[in-house]
Structures are given as structure tokens and as C-alpha cells.
Amino acid sequence: MSGLVTGLLFISSRNSMEIRKIDPNVVSELSLESVLSELNVTPYNHSLNSFDEEKAKMGQDLILKGRTIRNGKKSKLISSFFVCTDCHNLGREFDNLSSQKASERLEFSKNNYIPFLPGSTFYGIYNRTSFYNDDYIKKYGDLVTNARDTLENSVQLCAKYCSSGRYLADWELEAIMHYYKKNELKIKDLNLDEQTLESIVNLKRINDDEKTDLLAILNRSHVNGYNAKFLSTMDVNKRKYGKGGNVENGKLIYNKSCLHCHANKRVTYLNLGNDKLSGKMFVKNLEGYRDKSLYQIIRYGTYAKFGRKQYMPMYTEQKMSDDQLNDLVAYIKQLAEK
């Protein structure tokens, strides 16, 4: 299918243009990119004109395993220390795709049994236009200059620096882009109301003002680029040390965030569990700005260094709020008192 038209679908052939009516429900299966194209929006700079299922499968392997099979041989690991899913979910993280609220993200994590991670999900990444936004320049400096508005460059930055790995070969990058294309947003993902869906069905009949309104709605229906505000470790006089915190939320965060990497030393050397010893270790280090203080580690993380490339990523305000951090501390303190 090459084009979308209002209650009609144009299908290109070599010699003619076949026109047939479609059920409006079919519109829900259309890609967001195809609808934006009909609204004459400039294509994504990473837009793919064709899609290759085999390349997408290799891209999925690279994301999940850090390597794939190509020409009958195992490819080189991207990183010996991380795979993408250590920090990024692959699926939806919000009921409302325009939301960036940490509270809504945690609720969705709870209801859908997914981790609560420091990185943005790959779900819908093909439809974003900006990356490493806002305060990430404080962490990566000039490295984000070419990554902010280019999906390919942002992937390369992540592969080389975030995963303590290497730059991707052209074929690897292409495979990952095909994986992203396979999982691009469709109209059905956007929770649009009936009036908006009707506008899409009747796209060729609506006037320019209505098209402008439709485009604005589509742009608001999902995140074009996740915000990233770095929070400080919090002045010791402002810390609540778990007072008034929601222990159940804290337990959820601990299990879906901390243990995602630290349970059974899955990613890093520090082994944690829902045990008194783990709780006491954190409580002992809550004060001041110690390396193992939750206030320090959540907001600043650590950096990869020689001999220890597995570092701790930081959580921005959008990924974990100060209230959620207080909830986590409340649970840790309860854990220590078992």
C-alpha cells in the first residue's frame, strides 16, 4: 500500500491506480507515518521506504542478545557488559502515549508486569524526532550534538557509550532500524476519539484548517521526544528519609528497578534481594553523599571505568520522581527492620 486516502485507498500498480472503498476500521491499522505523509509532513530523517522482515529479526537479536547470526556466523558482541533491555523496555509504558509522568509509568508497570527502567522504551521510537534531550548534554557533552535529532546517531551513542560497547557496523544499524520500523506506531495505538478517526478516514475531503487541527492532534497523541530533567541528590535537610512514603510503591520500584539488574548478579557485581542484609546496607548509607546512598546513586548513577564497565545509570525526574525515591527509601527502611 503506497497511500492513504479518506474512505478510499489508493493502491499503486505499474500501469494504473486502482481505487477501492475500505472499512473505516482499516484506518486503525495504518501506520502513523503513512497518515503524516498524506498530511505532507516532512518524512523522518530515518524513514525507511521498504521493510525487510529478516533484517528486523536480526535487529531484534542485536537488541535482546547483543549479537545475531549473519551469513551463518555469530556476529561480534556489541557490548560484553550490557544489552539494550537492561535499561529499555520494548513495549508500551503508558496507557496515554502522550504522558511522561513517572507516577503513570509506575502504575502501568505494576498493571502490566514490566520493569521500571531508567531508559525510555523502544516502543514508538521510530516515530520520535528528538533524542538525548534537555539535561543529557550535562552527562554526554558534545556527544549529544549529532544524536539529538538523528535516530541512527542516538543508537550509535548508546551502543558505544551507554552500553560500554562499540559503534555498530552499517548492517547492524540498518537491522535495528528495520526492527524499529516493524514496531512503529499505528493509528490504533494513539487512543484517538471517533471524530479524529473520522477526519483520517475523510482526509482528502477535509479542508486545510481541519488538516492543521488533525496534525496537531496526532503530534499531541504521542511523545515526539522524551524530556530529561536531572535532579540533584537533594539537600540533606530536605530529605524525608522515607517519612510519609508509600511502602508498597517503594517495594514495586525496588523489585522492578533495582532487582532488574542486581538480583542474582544478573548485570552487576552487587547482589541484592528482598532481605534484611540488603536493606541494612542501604540504610547505613542513606546519610550524606556516599557512593551507595540511594539519594546519590539514583540521581547521579556511576560512570564506567577501567576494570568495571558495568555502571549504574541515573534516573531523571521523568523516570523516577522525588516522591517515588522517598517511597523506595521507605521500603528499604522497612526491609532493614525485618
Nearest-angstrom CA–CA distance, 243 and 172: 48
Q: Answer with the residue of higher pLDDT: 79 or 26.
A: 79
Q: Containing H/E element for 282?
A: helix 276-284
Q: Containing H/E element for 8?
A: strand 8-12
What CATH number did the domain enclosing 164 receive?
1.10.760
Residue 43 inside a domain? The answer is no
Nearest-angstrom CA–CA distance, 11 and 49: 16
One domain for residues 98 and 143 = yes
One domain for residues 298 and 330 = yes
One domain for residues 65 and 172 = yes
Choose among 143, 148, 151: nearest CA to 174: 151
Between β-strands 8-12 and 17-21, what pairing exists: parallel, antiparallel or unpaired?
Answer: antiparallel
What CATH number did the domain enclosing 273 receive?
1.10.760.10
Residue 158 inside a domain? The answer is yes
pLDDT tens digits, one per residue of 253-301: 999 999 999 997 778 778 999 999 999 999 999 987 777 799 999 999 9
Cβ proximity of 249 and 324 under 8 Å = yes
One domain for residues 207 and 264 = no
Would the pLDDT of 231 be above 70?
A: yes
pTM: 0.90
Looking at the structure of the chain, the number of domains it has is 3
Residue 37 inside a domain? The answer is no
Cβ proximity of 256 and 300 under 8 Å = no
One domain for residues 137 and 114 = yes
Residue 39 grid coordinates:
498530511
Give strand pairing partners of 9. 4, 20
Residue 265 inside a domain? The answer is yes
- To 5 degrees, how large is the angle CA 7–CA 183–CA 149? 100
pLDDT tens digits, one per residue of 93-134: 999 999 999 999 999 999 999 999 999 999 999 999 999 999
Residue 232 inside a domain? The answer is no
pLDDT tens digits, one per residue of 14-29: 333 333 344 667 888 9
One domain for residues 262 and 155 = no
One domain for residues 173 and 200 = no
Residue 31 grid coordinates:
501506520
Per residue, what are the HEC states of the chain?
A: CCEEECCEEEEECCCCEEEEECCHHHHHHCEHHHHHHHCCCCCCCCCCCCCCHHHHHHHHHHHHHCCCEECCEECCCCCCCCCHHHCCCCCCCCCCCCCCCHHHHHHHHHHHCCCCCCCCCCCCHHHCCCCCCCCHHHHHHHHHCCCCCCHHHHHHHHHHHHCCCCCCCHHHHHHHHHHHHHCCCEHHHHCCCHHHHHHHHCCCCCCHHHHHHHHHHHHHCCCCCCCCCCCCCCCCCCCCCCCCCCHHHHHHHHHHHHHHHHECCCCCCCCECCCHHHHHHHHHCCCCCCCCCHHHHHHHCCCCECCECCCCCCCCCCCCCHHHHHHHHHHHHHHHCC
Averaged over 306-311, what is the pLDDT?
74
Residue 240 inside a domain? The answer is no
Nearest-angstrom CA–CA distance, 261 and 111: 21
At 254 the pLDDT is 98
One domain for residues 173 and 74 = yes
Residue 41 inside a domain? The answer is no
Q: Helix or strand or coil: residue 11?
A: strand
One domain for residues 211 and 112 = no
One domain for residues 201 and 177 = no
At 1 the pLDDT is 39
At 268 the pLDDT is 78
Question: Within 10 Å of residue 161's Cβ, how many Cβ atoms?
Answer: 15
At 23 the pLDDT is 60
Q: Helix or strand or coil: residue 280?
A: helix
Q: Enter the DSSP assignment of 275.
A: S
One domain for residues 316 and 303 = yes
Q: How far apart are the first and last CA of the chain?
A: 61
Residue 225 inside a domain? The answer is no
Q: Containing H/E element for 17?
A: strand 17-21
Q: What domain range includes position 214? A: 3-30+187-220
For the chain, what percent of residues have pLDDT higher than 90?
A: 80
One domain for residues 201 and 90 = no
